[in-house]
Chains A and B, each alone.
Chain A
Amino acid sequence: MSGIGTGYDLSATTYSPDGKIFQTEYAQKAVDNSSTVIGLRCKDGVVLACEKLVLSKLLVEGSNRRIHNVDRHVGVAVAGLAPDGRMVANRAWDEASSYKRVYGEPIPGHVLCERVGSYVHMFNLYWSLRPYGATLLLATYDKNGPALYAVDPSGSSLRYFGTAVGKGRQAAKNEIEKLKLAEMSCREAVVEAVKILHKVHDEDGKKFELEVSWICDESNKQHQRVPAELLADAERQAKAALEDSDMDD
């Protein structure tokens, strides 16, 4: 089978002639083909929202978690291969825990982001390991305020006001750019996030669930799932907005 990277894509320790490491690029593809995950950093906190395709009627609602708690003040949303993301989230938990033990204070967002980035990058260095096929969106709220970071399979980590990963990321990012996040509260951002996910969802008839979490002043600076009534209300608004735009067509 000949593909784009033939001959140079068998291991993470081989460069291609044009300077790419194809294994890392392929890992990135695993993320690009997964369901959409978005993160929004507002004036009083951060919102994470995942679109989860329900693959079987036999699955209990709410299973296949994509958002994990790393510490009270840090939450992580996973896009890409779920088990890979889970491994990285566990590592983040370890880092946060050891930092707290040694320094006596909760790990600052930028330190955790660096550590997770270094860890993920390490898997791009060795022949015997494969890169993680997951991107993590970190939502943190420390003494310097709220922050949103994204760590991708290459190990590079960037801080964002808002970002999207996965299948619908292009359309989602277009929508996010229209938002005035610096003036928005998390409550409002939850509604916007849900609207965006509904809008960019592939209309192939598959049922999908949403997993939305936040960390903000309203949640006492703790990372938790968004209250059920807020989520239900957001879904209602999102469906109404879609119908409106359908009627316009």
Chain B
Amino acid sequence: MDTMTPSTSMPVSMGTSIIAVTFNGGVILGADSRTSTGNYIANRVTDKITPLCDNVYTLRSGSAADTQAIAGYVQHFIAQHQAEEGDQITVKTVANLVKMMAYNNKDFLQAGLIVAGFDKHGGGQVYSISLGGTLTATPFAMSGSGSTYVNGFCDKNWREGMSEAEAMDFVTRALKYAMTWDASSGGCIRTVTITAAGVKRQFIQGGLIPPTYGELPREQVVA
């Protein structure tokens, strides 16, 4: 039985946990780092948080190829827009561009994206673009296979106007639970914080993620 060979005929998908929240002063985007091809984890340190422009990032879930392609096109359209407009592009406009791609090519794509960023007119904003190309604006959003396990947690613990530290705690705890329960999510936690001051990336190594209730302590990575 060929159980050890990786199945290269299966699509590379990001069974994923991704979340973005607005807080008092900006947004935080968070994601796990697992990309799977069937049962094989093709990449256990994936970066699913992709910049579209200086002030707007996107979280990618679904087909890795499809989301990378969409991100590439949108980066190009943003550059075109900036050449004419001059002023920094708004988060809403970026989200609209992503939606156009997803909606106009809905028959060919399998992509769930969350677009989040900061602009001087609207502050921190989060937009969700789901499979068919629906665009929704919400104070926080989560997506991917792992998000289903933390719907209750997020609803219960989300608050309006959190501080950056509170929002970071919320994001990392939500991802921790999602990664515990979802087989397609795991690895380490990556976050990106976007405020008026700029962009800050953070990384929590898998071994340093606190275990959930009932879990055995995780093994530290041997240096």
Interface positions of A (Cβ within 8 A of B): 102-105, 108, 110-111, 114, 143-144
Given A102-B77, A104-B95, A105-B92, 19 more A-B residue pairs with CB atoms under 8 Å apart are: A102-B96, A102-B97, A103-B81, A103-B93, A103-B96, A103-B97, A104-B93, A104-B96, A104-B97, A105-B90, A105-B93, A105-B96, A108-B85, A108-B87, A110-B86, A111-B84, A111-B85, A114-B84, A144-B87
Determine if B100 and A102 form an interchain contact, defined as CB atoms under 8 angstroms apart.
Answer: yes
CA A5 to CA B85, docked complex, whole Å: 39
Q: Is B121 an interface residue (CB 8 A)?
A: yes
Q: Total number of A-B contacts with CB less than 8 angstroms? A: 26
A102, A104, A111, A114: the one within 8 Å of B92 (CB): A104
Quote the shortest CB–CB distance from A5 to chain B (angstroms).
36
When distances are taken between beta carbons in the complex, the residues of chain B under 8 Å from A103 are 81, 93, 96-97
CA A123 to CA B147, docked complex, whole Å: 56
- What is the total number of residues of chain B having a CB less than 8 Å from a CB of chain A? 15
Is chain B's binding surface mostly helix, strand, loop or mixed? Answer: helix
Among residues of A, the one whose C-beta sits closest to the C-beta of B97 is A103
Quote the shortest CB–CB distance from A99 to chain B (angstroms).
9
CA A103 to CA B93, docked complex, whole Å: 5
CA A37 to CA B100, docked complex, whole Å: 40
When distances are taken between beta carbons in the complex, the residues of chain B under 8 Å from A143 are 121
Quote the shortest CB–CB distance from B213 to chain A (angstroms).
44
CA A104 to CA B95, docked complex, whole Å: 9
When distances are taken between beta carbons in the complex, the residues of chain B under 8 Å from A104 are 92-93, 95-97, 99
Among residues of B, the one whose C-beta sits closest to the C-beta of A144 is B87
When distances are taken between beta carbons in the complex, the residues of chain A under 8 Å from B86 are 110
Quote the shortest CB–CB distance from A239 to chain B (angstroms).
44
Among residues of A, the one whose C-beta sits closest to the C-beta of B121 is A143
When distances are taken between beta carbons in the complex, the residues of chain B under 8 Å from A108 are 85, 87
CA A70 to CA B172, docked complex, whole Å: 48
Quote the shortest CB–CB distance from B110 to chain A (angstroms).
23
Among residues of B, the one whose C-beta sits closest to the C-beta of A101 is B100
When distances are taken between beta carbons in the complex, the residues of chain B under 8 Å from A111 are 84-85
B49-108 interface (Cβ within 8 A of A): 77, 81, 84-87, 90, 92-93, 95-97, 99-100
CA A144 to CA B90, docked complex, whole Å: 13
When distances are taken between beta carbons in the complex, the residues of chain A under 8 Å from B97 are 102-104
When distances are taken between beta carbons in the complex, the residues of chain B under 8 Å from A114 are 84
